[in-house]
Structure 1
């Protein structure tokens, strides 16, 4: 019985389009050319699918072979106070905000992790700033460093200050260390609904993924509503199952 599936009335709406996965790449490319990357987003239900979309868009739409390139859109995944200290009207870089890579200045390995020095542009505040980003987070299926990774980074940085006798001063040095404060980021072409909350884009590509009736509870409907309403102009429903489509009235 498919009666429990929500029925979406999409026929007759020029700003809502149902597409298959094979059409997705061309449609995203058209949206980028028409409105720009900053006005286009893919929303999916899992971090695993989001990673697949981000990698696919970089490879097949933007044709980027380097792990990080000028023009890449990144999403900050953890609040950071270090890199914008001294800027007026900007106290910190917030989890969920987007920045654009203006220049890639080189990678380095320190403390058992990979870092990249970059020049970033924050469109919302119209500022450029230099930062280190931690590359190990880019491809993981979790938002940032794990607790174990964070503890390891802290311990490895702390070793650099072993000559300082007072633990409090060593701790302060770690907190001021640029590697310990490296920005944690993901590619920003596709996001989960949780990360999209509060944002709005002209073009939203919504991938519901495989949905079982057992999960058709209140949380799913909230997810669906929030995802759909991120779009201010056009909505694409990617691989939408037939069970979700309301039959046109005769």
Structure 2
């Protein structure tokens, strides 16, 4: 038994023993600074993380457990029994504001925090396939250089970083592969020596599992960059059920929600438009005749909110919603109270909800709407005698109840990117025609990511790619 295995409540298989030995070597090596631990769904990555945390601490290495999204941080914290937070929350801090000269708007600027961890600290980053090194910047917010992976390396300095993830999953948006799980990319672009460990043996599903069978076939195609047509096998498997129209799939989803609860079921789409359509269909069955958002609704946050410390992708359950809508800057707002599902369970939140995004085909405002909201904010500040150079401007910017209203959509159906990092007992999946306009490797990645969200059952809308 390896020393690391002694910190696990489970006996490792041969595959895990090899990975454990490589992890031990990395922790104790004075030179290596980056290790990539890859493994597909059900190979025991989280169990390995749990043992690794205890082993590293025993070797006097403080551990910081991070994840790419709020949902992923919640999942790994629950399973590993160790506190976790998002990479964004850990490495960035609000420092100042700056003016966008093109739009004459102020942006919140988040800089890297000072790293106070000892040099022996180890950073473990779960669901690393979602960490981008592609420059991104929103209308109101700027994070560091805009490149999350680059900023993480800047923050970590010479401390050890372990990236954990599934290389077959969807890469970050606008990228062809997950850069944090690519040894060559890190070597060439970040000048780091990179150790590797992998888990291959599936532990979660039985040999007669249709989920496992299809995942294996999809991974094989992805691994060799195979440009074959996407095919999924549903016949002969008890854990896969086919539906022949969207309404019957939605009805089956609602029946499972009613029997098992929202936490155990997820509906996954390719497009935001279909997610919106399904959300409205689900609501029509759960709340007949009720068009306005109401108590017990499930929402999914679509934009980080720093006033309430809520991350993009986190879920909110509504406890109370104002029956009166408030109209401002051409948008509709409602006061609400609710519960946020985060890494510590549930916590209360109350404020304003931007209602418009609940019913739109896209999860974001147009540039004109953003600009109108900002102009309304500036008019109200002017009435207080505050301009953009005033010392109180920044605090007003981050506390304004309308500018910082929760931006969310109904959370019954989500796109695959939003579901990434989570897992449910049952996944309901639609392979939309627009998916097949993407290249074939992307189709396989999408299918693999969507299917592997379901741990026990897979419910599919029939499609020409399914046999």
Partner residue in 1 for 2:261: 36
Partner residue in 1 for 2:288: 63
Pick closer, same or farther for the CA change 1:7–1:149 going to 2, 3 Å. same
Confirm or deny: 8 A CA contact 1:25 1:61 kept in the other structure. Answer: no
Partner residue in 1 for 2:424: 201
Question: Structure 2 length normalisation: TM-score?
Answer: 0.47
Pick closer, same or farther for the CA change 1:189–1:121 going to 2, 3 Å. same
CA distance in 2 between partners of 1:239 and 1:67 (Å): 32
Match for 2:320 among 103, 121, 124?
103
The higher relative CO (CA closer than 8 Å, separation ≥ 6) is in 1
The CA deviation at 1:216 is 4.6
Confirm or deny: 8 A CA contact 1:196 1:230 kept in the other structure. Answer: yes
Aligned residues: 234
Bigger Rg, which one: 2
Q: Mean alpha-carbon deviation: is it higher for 144-153 or for 51-60?
A: 144-153
User: Equivalent residues in 2 for 1:2-13 (5 A)?
Assistant: 4-13=228-237
CA distance in 2 between partners of 1:69 and 1:184 (Å): 16
Pick closer, same or farther for the CA change 1:233–1:62 going to 2, 3 Å. farther
Confirm or deny: 8 A CA contact 1:153 1:180 kept in the other structure. Answer: yes
Match for 2:306 among 81, 90, 93?
81
Where does the alignment leave 5 or more consecutive residues of structure 2 unmatched? Answer: 1-226
- Per-residue deviation, residues 164-215 of structure 1 (Å, max 9, x unmatched): 2542237432332111100100000111111111111112110002268663
CA distance in 2 between partners of 1:109 and 1:213 (Å): 40
The CA deviation at 1:60 is 2.6
CA distance in 2 between partners of 1:73 and 1:215 (Å): 31
The CA deviation at 1:132 is 0.7
1:93 and 2:280 equivalent? no
CA distance in 2 between partners of 1:33 and 1:167 (Å): 51
The CA deviation at 1:25 is 3.5
CA distance in 2 between partners of 1:212 and 1:97 (Å): 25
1:15 and 2:244 equivalent? no
CA distance in 2 between partners of 1:126 and 1:214 (Å): 40
The CA deviation at 1:138 is 1.2
Partner residue in 2 for 1:167: 388
Confirm or deny: 8 A CA contact 2:386 2:393 kept in the other structure. Answer: no
Pick closer, same or farther for the CA change 1:6–1:166 going to 2, 3 Å. closer
Partner residue in 2 for 1:122: 340
Displacement over 6 Å in runs of 4+: none
Partner residue in 2 for 1:244: 466
Which has the larger share of helix? Answer: 2
The CA deviation at 1:148 is 2.2
CA distance in 1 between partners of 2:437 and 2:254 (Å): 35
Match for 2:251 among 22, 26, 40?
26
- Per-residue deviation, residues 11-46 of structure 1 (Å, max 9, x unmatched): 222111111224224311321122102221211111
Pick closer, same or farther for the CA change 1:37–1:171 going to 2, 3 Å. same
SS in structure 2 opposite 1:162? helix
The CA deviation at 1:64 is 5.1
- Per-residue deviation, residues 103-129 of structure 1 (Å, max 9, x unmatched): 112421123321011111123331122
Where does the alignment leave 5 or more consecutive residues of structure 1 unmatched? Answer: 84-91, 246-250
SS in structure 1 opposite 2:257? helix
CA distance in 1 between partners of 2:238 and 2:294 (Å): 35
- CA RMSD for the aligned pairs? 2.1
